[in-house]
Structure 1
Amino acid sequence: MTLKTIADSLGVSAKTVSRALAGKDSVSEELRARIRAEADRLGYVPNSMARSLVSGAAMTFGMVITHPANPFYALLISAVEERCRANGYSLLLMVTEEDPETERHAAEELLRWGVDGAVVIPVQEGADHWQRLQDSGVPIVLVNRRLDGFECDFVGVDHERGAYEAASYLLDAGATNLYALEEDVPFSSAADRRAGFHRALAERGLPVQDDTVTLVPPSTAPLRELPWEPDAAYRCAQQLVSRLEPGSAVLTGSDYFALGLYRALAEKGIEVPAHVAVIGHGDLPFAAYLQPALASVRPPAAEIGARAADLLFERIQGSTAPAATIFLPPELRIRTSAGGNDRHAEN
């Protein structure tokens, strides 16, 4: 079906149909209603490619993520897509699975498609390909991970603050020894969490020993299955558990890690939180339903996605403001594992 098909059916010009469907004021409301009704009856669908050629805009955002199975990214994608839909844009999604070469290919594809803007969670191994995309006139917003030397808008979780507040809560609640079970990855998000953990200890005059932070290696499984393996955290936690004295506490960099820790503690007959308090990170859907319910740091995924999309729309509309760096605070959800009330149905 084309505009001419609708025009011939109603005895009007194709230009009149085009103006009516585009919402132009030059068409009466009565005629506009007739044209839209006929377009619906005939099953007319606007040609986005033709519209792009006329307007000079693809009306599409690109989005590049690393973990297709990560619940954080699921919320992020939904928020960006919602903003796009509300503004008449489409979303082109690409997945890198933490592979630098796949990421470079994704950047080239976004350039080839001529997207109007891009929301990117980078692998953090080079920025030349993103620089080329931005130099071509495509604004970029980085999410959750920064790239040194690459100037563009950034929106992310304040991981340092989240870890600091969680560690401070455990210490102020009486933890005699505090440990961390953290990701062994070179990403800014993990480094920021470690910095917050260390700051909480330093402010209270507590030393950071060599064994204070236990690093969990990345998953060897395809990232489309799970971003992290609880089993890897379980093996690391088995070594950590032997050092946990009554009154200790553990801050994990992922709720998946907390699953592995829970198993290691249970096998040794160590009760949570009676002997060891635990706080996770991510506040994944299962956290509130564990026994005991897992306290966790909840990142504001939806807010980050919406803010990133809004920044792109501002750039497309001509904003020349300096690159924004926005850190949104996470929320500390206290539950039984950290000594709080067991609000089992809280999500």
Structure 2
Amino acid sequence: MVDSRRVTLKDIARSLGVSVNTVSRALTDKDSVSEATRARIKAEAQRLGYVPNPMARSLVLGSAMTIGLVITNPSNPFYARLISAIEHRGRGYGYSLMLLVNEESPDGDQTAAQTLLRWGVDGALIVPAVQGDGEHWERLPESGIPLVCLNRDLPGLDLDCIGVDYELGAYTAARHLVEAGARTVCLLEEDLPISPVADRTAGFLRALTEAGLPAGADRVRSVPTRRRASLALPWEPADAYHLAQDIVRGGDLPDAFMVGNDYFALGVYRALTEAGLRVGEDVLVGGFGDHPFAAYLNPSLTTVALPAAEIGTSAVDLLVSRMRGQDDHDRADKRRLPAELVVRTSSRRDEQALVT
């Protein structure tokens, strides 16, 4: 019986009376070992509690067998689903996941890029905090580490990017509010200089313009989203609440509010309710993200569901193909997956509103 130190190949070999090379070949499924011997060695390895040394394996394979993942905030339900899908898909290819958080900070981006370089990951999936200067990210592909952007592109770099078609999603949601009877619609959007915000705003204004409704700059209001004392939550409903309060008190109440994420809808609901207004009756509300609480609000929230799992699996597939040299590197793959409008009670004035 071995002691409490880490079980090695030598321990398994000594226990069975075979060579270390035979144990190594059996555990890596090399053809030069008989099935009977392979089964016996694997059973003994399991009995002894053997766990492969990833550093030693990396030296043998010439690969870290690790994918880096850089996101902005893991408490965002969208990114939580994304992480799960990426980890599951990566494990299927034999890769471990190194998770880093940039906290929407340029410094966080630079630190993450340096960490990925230092650890020599095989490839990386990144949600960049800043979409302008990507010099620190450029060093990774220059060092032979393929990158795929998630959800946000880096326009200055010719990198693969897989994300959501935010423009179409916002257009569809705004058009739905118009078709439900709204003639004035106000968008409460994040104040971050990122492509999802710009795309949602463009889709929202396009829907209003096509309907011949007011679509000026005053139809879009920015909600402060820069964190204060805590980075635990990606958004603060209170900020949207205070902004919606100001709009209600200002006397220019819109027929409908559309928000850039479902957390803002929480603040809008409270502001309207406190003013004696009925959500879904007096004022329509549409969200974005389809977070877990959306279906359980009263009334349930009409929102746009995002394909987080599909983005995660597609991104891993693309990254692995790049790492293995199976795709044409001369042309970046820019892919936007469709979002789905989920209609619930907050945007329907009739009693037969669909609740999902």
TM-score (ref. length: structure 2): 0.93
Partner of 2:283: 276
Equivalent of 2:23, from 2, 17, 36?
17
Counterpart Cα distance in 1 of 2:127 and 2:48: 42
Partner of 1:31: 37
Q: Are 1:68 and 1:224, in contact at CA under 8 Å, matched by a contact in 2?
A: no
Q: Are 2:285 and 2:347, in contact at CA under 8 Å, matched by a contact in 1?
A: yes
Q: Are 1:7 and 1:14, in contact at CA under 8 Å, matched by a contact in 2?
A: yes
What's the offset of the Cα at 1:9?
Answer: 1.4
- The residue type paired with residue 102 of structure 2 is T
Task: Give structure 2 stretches of 5+ with no counterpart.
Answer: 1-6
Alignment partner of 1:174 is 2:181: yes
- Bigger drift between 182-191 and 7-16 goes to 7-16
Task: Give structure 1 stretches of 5+ with no counterpart.
Answer: none
Partner of 1:4: 10
Alignment partner of 1:331 is 2:340: yes
**Distance 1:147-1:247 versus aligned 2 partners, 3 A rule:** closer
Alignment partner of 1:81 is 2:81: no
Alignment partner of 1:227 is 2:243: no
What's the offset of the Cα at 1:15?
Answer: 1.2
Partner of 1:298: 305
Q: Sequence identity of aligned pairs in percent?
A: 56
Partner of 1:133: 140
**Distance 1:244-1:258 versus aligned 2 partners, 3 A rule:** farther
Alignment partner of 1:93 is 2:99: yes
Partner SS, residue 310 of structure 1: helix
Partner SS, residue 31 of structure 2: coil
Counterpart Cα distance in 2 of 1:9 and 1:196: 67
Partner SS, residue 276 of structure 2: coil
Partner of 1:121: 127
What's the offset of the Cα at 1:319?
Answer: 2.8
Deviations 1:158-195 (A, max 9, x none): 10010000001111222121111111111111000000
Alignment partner of 1:261 is 2:263: no
- The residue type paired with residue 277 of structure 2 is I
Q: Are 1:84 and 1:91, in contact at CA under 8 Å, matched by a contact in 2?
A: yes
Partner SS, residue 82 of structure 1: helix
Counterpart Cα distance in 1 of 2:34 and 2:217: 76
What's the offset of the Cα at 1:202?
Answer: 1.6
Partner of 2:155: 148
Partner of 2:213: 206
Partner of 1:72: 78
Counterpart Cα distance in 1 of 2:251 and 2:85: 41
- The residue type paired with residue 260 of structure 2 is G
Equivalent of 2:50, from 44, 48, 68?
44
Equivalent of 2:170, from 157, 163, 175?
163
Counterpart Cα distance in 1 of 2:180 and 2:32: 68
Partner of 2:68: 62
Partner SS, residue 228 of structure 2: coil
Partner of 1:103: 109
Partner SS, residue 261 of structure 1: helix
**Distance 1:246-1:149 versus aligned 2 partners, 3 A rule:** closer
Counterpart Cα distance in 1 of 2:188 and 2:12: 64
Q: Are 1:246 and 1:275, in contact at CA under 8 Å, matched by a contact in 2?
A: no
Counterpart Cα distance in 1 of 2:253 and 2:197: 27
What's the offset of the Cα at 1:323?
Answer: 1.0
What is the aligned residue count? 345
Counterpart Cα distance in 1 of 2:94 and 2:140: 23
**Distance 1:107-1:80 versus aligned 2 partners, 3 A rule:** same
Q: Are 1:281 and 1:296, in contact at CA under 8 Å, matched by a contact in 2?
A: yes
Partner SS, residue 107 of structure 1: helix
- The residue type paired with residue 264 of structure 2 is F
Q: Are 1:97 and 1:223, in contact at CA under 8 Å, matched by a contact in 2?
A: no
Counterpart Cα distance in 1 of 2:12 and 2:275: 74
Counterpart Cα distance in 1 of 2:157 and 2:149: 10
Partner SS, residue 63 of structure 1: strand
- The residue type paired with residue 107 of structure 1 is A
Counterpart Cα distance in 2 of 1:37 and 1:184: 57
Q: Are 1:297 and 1:330, in contact at CA under 8 Å, matched by a contact in 2?
A: yes
Q: Are 1:297 and 1:332, in contact at CA under 8 Å, matched by a contact in 2?
A: yes
- The residue type paired with residue 238 of structure 1 is Q
Counterpart Cα distance in 2 of 1:134 and 1:142: 12
Counterpart Cα distance in 1 of 2:216 and 2:202: 14
TM-score (ref. length: structure 1): 0.95
Partner of 2:3: none
What's the offset of the Cα at 1:239?
Answer: 1.8
**Distance 1:209-1:243 versus aligned 2 partners, 3 A rule:** farther
Counterpart Cα distance in 1 of 2:230 and 2:310: 24
Partner SS, residue 215 of structure 1: strand
Q: Are 1:250 and 1:277, in contact at CA under 8 Å, matched by a contact in 2?
A: yes
CA RMSD of the aligned region, Å? 1.6
**Distance 1:293-1:134 versus aligned 2 partners, 3 A rule:** same
Counterpart Cα distance in 2 of 1:150 and 1:243: 44
